[in-house]
Amino acid sequence: MAPLDLELGPGFHVFSGENGQGKTNLLEAIYAVCTLRSFRTRRLAELIQFDREAARLAAVVERGGSLRTYEVTLAPAGRQVRLDGKAVRPLARYFGGFQVVLFAPEDLAVPRGTPADRRAFLDRVVFQRTPDYLGEAQDYDRVLRSRNALLRAGQSRSGAGSAAGGAALLAVYDQKLTELGARRMRRRTQLCAELNPRFRAAFAAISRSALEVDARYASPWLGSDVDMGDEAALADALSRALTSARSVDLARAITTVGPHRDDLALTLTGRAAGAFASQGQLRAIILAWKIAELELLAEAYGETPVLLLDDVSSELDPRRNEYLFEFLRSKRTQCAITTTHPQHVPGGSTRADYEVRSGFVTRQNPE
């Protein structure tokens, strides 16, 4: 996008324009400065405009009568993160004072997508609810990559001494993976337990039916008798699973058990939503999840997060669309909405409209 300085007040901010004009880029910038992640790519450096060497994203956030400045500078070599003009150490201090909830068309494909899609969908909420989770997840992923590299090396290793050294190092990785993996599983399990009552209530209100939804954290490799809320029990179970799977892991040169193989099980009346729910029911499920996420974070932090809606009105039928905006008006949510058809967004007393064209944003109804 072109350089932009935008002040967003309370209420709805509707950014309209044809496809390819930069509407989603705007939401991505807000999301990235809050979470230090993109919802479209794994590499933040890809947010830099193709003819530029760097990008700067910043947000001045008013909360509880005080102002805080969140800032990230992106370059191909890495990023620099500042809070109130100062470098942040540890990075977890950056998070917790500024939350966003994103609702994008891609989310509607999650129930029918891959387990990796659903893990990422779940992890977004866990991270917002528990900022320390980002560092924990990154630590787990680093150990996992090291273990997998050792497994690949083991396929070509020969000699008893070399094999013994590899086994000793593998045991070290297993111990660390057990510790970090158990914590990651507990975090995900607790999030589902917190979100589920709100998720069910929101779905009942949206669908106006007797159908029931459920969100459960699932570990197919784990025994059903393990208490998913007990980190010590999870660590013990994961340790035993890694030991049992070692010969398979060595043969496949990959770690076959652990939270990186788990799933978010979304069900409708006890059946897998991705397989049995209609398209309309899937829309209601994802909408209910986002509303539950918004309510959970509002309760946890004492303030409703900023909501980012990327062309969602075109994906919802009129009844669910109206329900969504009735709910948002009742919560007095600050909301940034992109659409190709602004008439899809119900009006409100606090609404500002903008046109987005070729990366430039123009206010349509200035006060």
User: What gap in Å lies between CA 293 and CA 196, rounded to an integer?
Assistant: 10
Query: Domain containing 284 — which CATH number?
Result: 1.20.1050.90
Instruction: Answer whether residue 165 shows pLDDT above 90.
Output: no
Residue with tokens 């669910």: 320
Q: Which residue among 241, 256, 289 closes a domain?
A: 289
**Cα distances (angstroms) measured from residue 165 to each of 5, 162, 250:** 57, 5, 15
The 3-state DSSP class for residue 153 equals helix
**Pairing status of strand 66-75 against strand 55-63:** antiparallel
pLDDT band of 75, cuts 50, 70, 90: confident
Residue 322 belongs to a domain: yes
Residue with tokens 């040169």: 253
Residues facing residue 67 across a β-bridge: 62
Provide the percentage of residues in the chain whose pLDDT is more than 70: 95
Cβ–Cβ < 8 Å for 321, 251: no
Cβ–Cβ < 8 Å for 26, 361: yes
According to the model, what pLDDT value does residue 156 have? 59
242 and 208 together in one domain: yes
pLDDT band of 133, cuts 50, 70, 90: very high
Residue 9 belongs to a domain: yes
Cis peptide, bond prior to residue 90, ω within 30 of zero: yes
364 and 262 together in one domain: no
According to the model, what pLDDT value does residue 161 have? 43
Summarize the confidence of residues 128-151 as an average pLDDT.
94
User: What gap in Å lies between CA 234 and CA 20, rounded to an integer?
Assistant: 46
Residue 296 belongs to a domain: no
Neighbour tally for 244: CB within 10 Å: 12
Residue 298 belongs to a domain: no
Q: Which residue among 256, 289, 322 closes a domain?
A: 289
Summarize the confidence of residues 70-95 as an average pLDDT.
89
Residue 295 belongs to a domain: no
User: What gap in Å lies between CA 222 and CA 182, rounded to an integer?
Assistant: 12
91 and 120 together in one domain: no
Dump pLDDT digits (tens) for 239-290.
999 999 999 999 999 999 999 999 999 999 999 999 999 988 998 999 999 9
What single-letter amino acid sits at 21? Q
DSSP code at position 22: S
Residue 105 belongs to a domain: no
pTM equals 0.87
HSE of 136, CA atoms in CB hemisphere, 13 A: 20
279 and 364 together in one domain: no
End-to-end CA distance of the chain, in Å?
A: 25
- As for how many domains the chain has, the answer is 2
325 and 207 together in one domain: no
138 and 85 together in one domain: no
281 and 183 together in one domain: yes
Query: Domain containing 352 — which CATH number?
Result: 3.40.50.300
Residue 107 belongs to a domain: no
According to the model, what pLDDT value does residue 1 have? 62
Structure tokens at 49: 């405009």
According to the model, what pLDDT value does residue 39 have? 84
The 3-state DSSP class for residue 312 equals coil
Specify the DSSP element, H or E, that contains 367: none
pLDDT band of 160, cuts 50, 70, 90: very low
130 and 204 together in one domain: yes
Phi then psi for residue 177, to 5 deg, are -65, -35
284 and 187 together in one domain: yes
According to the model, what pLDDT value does residue 297 have? 94
Neighbour tally for 109: CB within 10 Å: 14
Q: Which residue among 244, 260, 289 closes a domain?
A: 289
Residues shown for the chain:
367
Q: Which domain holds residue 221?
A: 113-289
81 and 161 together in one domain: no
Residue 3 belongs to a domain: yes
137 and 278 together in one domain: yes
Phi then psi for residue 39, to 5 deg, are -95, 5
Structure tokens at 18: 């044809």
**Where is average pLDDT lowest: 75-79, 132-136, 156-160, 181-185?**
156-160
Dump pLDDT digits (tens) for 13-59.
999 999 888 898 899 989 999 988 888 877 777 777 777 888 899 99
User: What gap in Å lies between CA 180 and CA 260, rounded to an integer?
Assistant: 11
